[in-house]
Copies of this chain bind each other. A is one copy, B any other.
C-alpha cells in the first residue's frame, strides 16, 4: 500500500500538496492536481484513515452497542441508525455483545453483564467514537451506563434514569389507546387482556393505554379481565379459556405469539376469530399476517427508533445539546387492521 509520501515522491511534489489535492483544498494549479490525481489512480493509493483520524482528532464515527443482534427488534433499529448516519456521513462501529447467546434471557441479572458492557464501552471510547448508542433487546431500565461517561450517549429501546442519556422508546401507551379504541369503535365493550410478564415495562405501558381507552369509551375497568402470561403462544392458549368464562367479546393479546395461541384455542373450540370473537395482537411479527384469519396488530416502530436515536446523537454531537425536555422520545407505532376483529351491532 503506497503512502502519501510515495505519491509525493513519484509526482515530485511535497506531501502537503498531495494532501491538499486529496482534501480538495485550493492552492494547487490545475496541472499538478491532475498529475497527482493520475498517479493516485495508477498506484491505487488509499489514504490511511487511521493516520488521518489521529491527526485530525476525530473519527466521525458512532459506536453502537447491541445487546444481541439476533433478537428480532435489533436489526431494524440498527438499520434506522444506519440510514440516519449515512445522511451526515457518520460511520457506525457496531458491537454485538451476544448477551442472549451467552446468558439466555436473564442476562441483565447476570454478574458479568455489567462488566461486559463497561469493557465494550471503554473499548469504543478507545477507538475514539464520538457518540454511543446502546440498543436494548427489550424495553427496560438501562442503568449500566456510567454516569460520568465522557461522550454523548443514548439508549434505543430502553429507558434511562437521567436525561443526559436520552432514551428512545415505543409509544406503547398511545398505541394501545388506538388499538383498544379500534375495538370499542367496533362495538366491543367487554375486552379481556392476556398481558405479558407482570413486571415488563411494555406490559405496564400497554395496560395503562388499555385503561385510558376504556375510560374514554366510558367502559368500567374490570381487573378480573386481565391475565398475565409469558409472551408465548402457550400463554395465549391457556388463558383463552379464562377469557371465555368471563364472557369477553374481544381479547387484547400483548404480542402476536399470545394472539396466535389464543386463536389456536378458539379454533379448537370452534369459535371463529373475526366473526364470533375479536383477537388483536401486538408487534406485527411476520407470522401475524399468516394467522387464520390474519391478525390485527400494532407494528413496532423499530426502524424509526433507530433513526431517531441516530438523530439525537448527531444533534448532541453538532449542537452540543440534547433537544428533548425530559430526555425521553416516544415513537409512534403503526396499526395493521386485518380480519381478526369483528363488528358488533349495538342494540339500542
Residues of chain A at the chain B interface (Cβ within 8 Å): 1, 46-51, 53-54, 59, 69-70, 74-76, 78-79, 82-83, 86, 92-96, 98, 101, 122-123, 125-128, 150, 233, 260, 264, 285-287, 290, 292
State the 10 A-B residue pairs at the shortest beta-carbon distance, nearest first: A94-B94, A49-B126, A287-B287, A82-B96, A50-B54, A69-B75, A75-B75, A50-B53, A49-B127, A70-B79
Q: Shortest distance in angstroms between A270's beta carbon and chain B's nearest beta carbon?
A: 15
Contact residues in B for A48 (Cβ distance below 8 Å): 54, 126, 128
Query: When the two chains form their complex, are residues B70 and A83 in contact, meaning their CB atoms are under 8 A apart?
Result: no
Q: Shortest distance in angstroms between A106's beta carbon and chain B's nearest beta carbon?
A: 19
Contact residues in B for A79 (Cβ distance below 8 Å): 69-70, 96, 98, 101
Contact residues in B for A82 (Cβ distance below 8 Å): 69, 96, 98
Query: When the two chains form their complex, are residues B54 and A260 in contact, meaning their CB atoms are under 8 A apart?
Result: no
Contact residues in B for A286 (Cβ distance below 8 Å): 285-287
Identify 7 residue pairs between A and B in the complex whose beta-carbon atoms are under 8 Å apart, listed by A's number. A1-B150, A48-B54, A48-B126, A54-B54, A79-B101, A233-B290, A260-B290
A96 vs B82: C-alpha distance in the bound complex, in angstroms? 7
Query: When the two chains form their complex, are residues B98 and A83 in contact, meaning their CB atoms are under 8 A apart?
Result: yes
Query: When the two chains form their complex, are residues A128 and B49 in contact, meaning their CB atoms are under 8 A apart?
Result: yes
Query: When the two chains form their complex, are residues B46 and A122 in contact, meaning their CB atoms are under 8 A apart?
Result: yes
